[in-house]
């Protein structure tokens, strides 16, 4: 059975041209003019682009006394409905739990996925078992990205010595270090102080995590990564302080990438001043939403290339779950949704406003991610031999985002009421038409795990610092006798 996408304009990270795309066995087998196939998808007036890749999701994750509400079933359906054809989720060991043990849990959950997926591994504690299992995770399980939480003290946070040890191990294995960059010690202090002063509402969540805690941690992670000689990926870059550190590192030749979220690009901290407790609590995530100046910085980063990708950190909790934190903001489960809205929101606020070209849109939602995470051109490409993970994007199609019509399992949407223009006409996951003229026809269990090789070339190219300072003992002419 072949499928042909006809009459569309192909948009990749570097080219825009008119051609048909022929698909067989889940892959693109031909790109050209006047192609014929058994199933015909009409892309007149549409762009044919690599499907979105969301590099940062938390599906059915145990966190803050509960589980995030979208699982691999509802989460990947939500993804496909918005033109995203792959997610990279975090396998998260609880402190003391082995990496392989946690991975088994994620293997079990992900059998329900409707689109392809991969995993990052979280390093939430340090010890010989973690050191040893990292090798198996990289070499046998195809996972080359490891996240470190610099916040969530007493739960997931790792200290600098643990982070440095883990980064060194990753440098040996050809992995990429990832960080959730917030100074967890300062956050804990500020949280205690705010609560003691009776500041217990959701707005205090933002007061407890100012941009400085993120800027400090980002700088620290960059320096530790440079000393270890490992590339660094900074998740959810939300502010100028963090962006500035990333910009500077890039300029110095370091392999450092920053990942703004669609939420931080389009929603600001005024959400926390809303008089309705639920409204504000539903928007509690870490890092919190920032003001307009920080948003401008993030957009400028995407435009100039100092920030590389756009993600969601999709970690959806229902209103009932958010209410665990009534009377104590530090107990509000941290997280917001965005999987099905990232592509239309970024198109509307990025492409339709002229901030990003359609090619840049493809780069930051798909191709750059596939390249950094070492799965290009299987993913993130419209090329012969690539997986047919594609979105046929109708730039004239519009809707108003509302929780009532969403696929995600939660009861609200942080983008409620936003008008978006630019939506999928068709979404294909390895050739299967999962969205057909807006109708969801995905299949549970269709999604497959995508293994990723280590990134050896990037590790070697990190920075010159290590070579310049390789420690060598000085040859001396005289050494005094040991003192008494």
Q: Which residues bind Zn ion (CB under 5 A)?
A: 180, 313, 446
476 class by beta-carbon count within 10 Å (0-12 exposed, 13-18 middle, 19+ buried): exposed
Q: Applying CB under 6 A, which of residues 12, 166, 219, 286 lies at the interface with ligand DUC?
A: 286
The span from the CA of 335 to the CA of 92, in Å, is 15
x/- contact string, 329-348, with ligand DUC (CB under 6 A)?
-----xx-------------
Position of minimal CB gap to Zn ion: 180
- The nearest distance, CB 451 to Zn ion, in angstroms, is 18
Compute the radius of gyration of the chain from its Cα atoms: 23
Nearer to ligand DUC, 23 or 315 (CB): 315
Tokens matching residue 415: 């983008």
Angle of the 211-228 helix axis to the 184-196 helix axis, nearest 10? 160
| Residues paired with 234 in a beta bridge | 179, 258
Q: Applying CB under 6 A, which of residues 6, 56, 120, 180 lies at the interface with ligand DUC?
A: 180
Per partner kind, with CB cut-offs from 5 to 8 A, the member of ligand DUC, Zn ion, none near residue 378 is none
| Closest to 388 in 3D by CA, of 7, 18, 41 | 41
Residue 342 — φ and ψ, nearest 5°? -55, -50
Nearer to ligand DUC, 49 or 315 (CB): 315
- The nearest distance, CB 334 to ligand DUC, in angstroms, is 4
Q: In the range 22-61, which residues lie near ligand DUC by CB under 6 A?
A: 58
Nearer to ligand DUC, 264 or 430 (CB): 264
Nearer to ligand DUC, 322 or 446 (CB): 322
Nearer to Zn ion, 180 or 418 (CB): 180
285 touching ligand DUC, by CB under 6 A: yes
| Closest to 13 in 3D by CA, of 325, 368, 283 | 368
**Contact predicate 53/86, CB 8 Å:** yes
315 touching ligand DUC, by CB under 6 A: yes
Q: Which residue has the tokens 């669609």?
A: 262
The span from the CA of 433 to the CA of 174, in Å, is 36
- The nearest distance, CB 86 to ligand DUC, in angstroms, is 20
Per partner kind, with CB cut-offs from 5 to 8 A, the member of Zn ion, ligand DUC, none near residue 285 is ligand DUC
The span from the CA of 259 to the CA of 170, in Å, is 20
> What does the binding site for ligand DUC look like in residue numbers (CB under 6 A)?
58, 180, 285-286, 313, 315, 334-335
């Amino acid at each position: 059975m072949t499928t042909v996408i006809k009459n569309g304009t192909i948009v990749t990270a570097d080219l825009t041209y008119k051609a048909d795309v022929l698909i067989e066995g889940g892959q693109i087998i031909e790109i050209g003019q006047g192609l014929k196939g058994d199933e015909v998808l009409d892309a007149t007036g549409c762009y044919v682009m690599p499907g979105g890749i969301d590099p940062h999701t938390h599906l059915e994750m145990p966190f803050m006394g509960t589980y995030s509400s979208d699982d691999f079933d509802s989460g990947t359906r939500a993804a496909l409905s918005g033109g995203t054809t792959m997610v990279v989720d975090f396998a998260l060991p609880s402190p003391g739990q082995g990496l392989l043990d946690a991975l088994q849990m994620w293997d079990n959950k992900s059998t329900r996925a409707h689109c392809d997926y991969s995993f990052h591994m979280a390093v939430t504690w340090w010890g010989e078992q973690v050191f040893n299992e990292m090798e198996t995770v990289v070499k046998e399980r195809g996972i080359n990205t490891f996240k470190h939480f610099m916040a969530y003290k007493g739960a997931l946070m790792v200290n600098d010595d643990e982070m440095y040890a883990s980064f060194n191990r990753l440098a040996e294995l050809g992995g990429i270090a990832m960080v959730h960059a917030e100074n967890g010690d300062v956050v804990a202090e500020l949280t205690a102080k705010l609560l003691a002063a009776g500041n217990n509402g959701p707005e205090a969540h933002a007061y407890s995590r100012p941009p400085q805690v993120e800027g400090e941690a980002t700088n620290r992670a960059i320096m530790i990564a440079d000393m270890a000689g490992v590339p660094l990926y900074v998740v959810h870059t939300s502010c100028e302080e963090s962006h500035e550190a990333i910009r500077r590192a890039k300029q110095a030749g370091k392999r450092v990438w920053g990942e703004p979220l669609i939420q931080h690009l389009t929603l600001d901290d005024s959400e926390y001043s809303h008089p309705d407790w639920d409204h504000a609590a539903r928007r509690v995530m870490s890092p919190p939403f920032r003001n307009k100046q920080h948003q401008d910085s993030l957009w400028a980063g995407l435009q100039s290339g100092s920030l590389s990708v756009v993600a969601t950190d999709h970690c959806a909790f229902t209103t009932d779950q958010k209410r665990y934190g009534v009377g104590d903001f530090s107990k509000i489960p941290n997280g917001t949704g965005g999987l099905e809205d990232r592509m239309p929101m970024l198109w509307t606020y990025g492409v339709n406003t002229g901030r990003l070209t359609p090619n840049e849109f493809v780069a930051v939602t798909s191709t750059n991610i596939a390249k950094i995470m070492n799965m290009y051109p299987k993913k993130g490409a419209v090329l012969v031999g690539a997986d047919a993970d594609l979105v046929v994007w109708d730039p004239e199609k519009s809707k108003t985002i509302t929780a009532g019509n969403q696929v995600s399992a939660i009861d609200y949407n942080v983008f409620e009421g936003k008008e978006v223009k630019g939506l999928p006409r068709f979404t294909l996951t390895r050739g299967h038409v999962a969205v057909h003229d807006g109708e969801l026809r995905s299949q549970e269990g269709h999604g497959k795990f995508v293994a990723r090789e280590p990134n050896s070339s990037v590790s070697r190219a990190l920075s010159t610092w290590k070579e310049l300072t390789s420690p060598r003992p000085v040859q001396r002419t005289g050494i005094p006798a040991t003192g008494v």
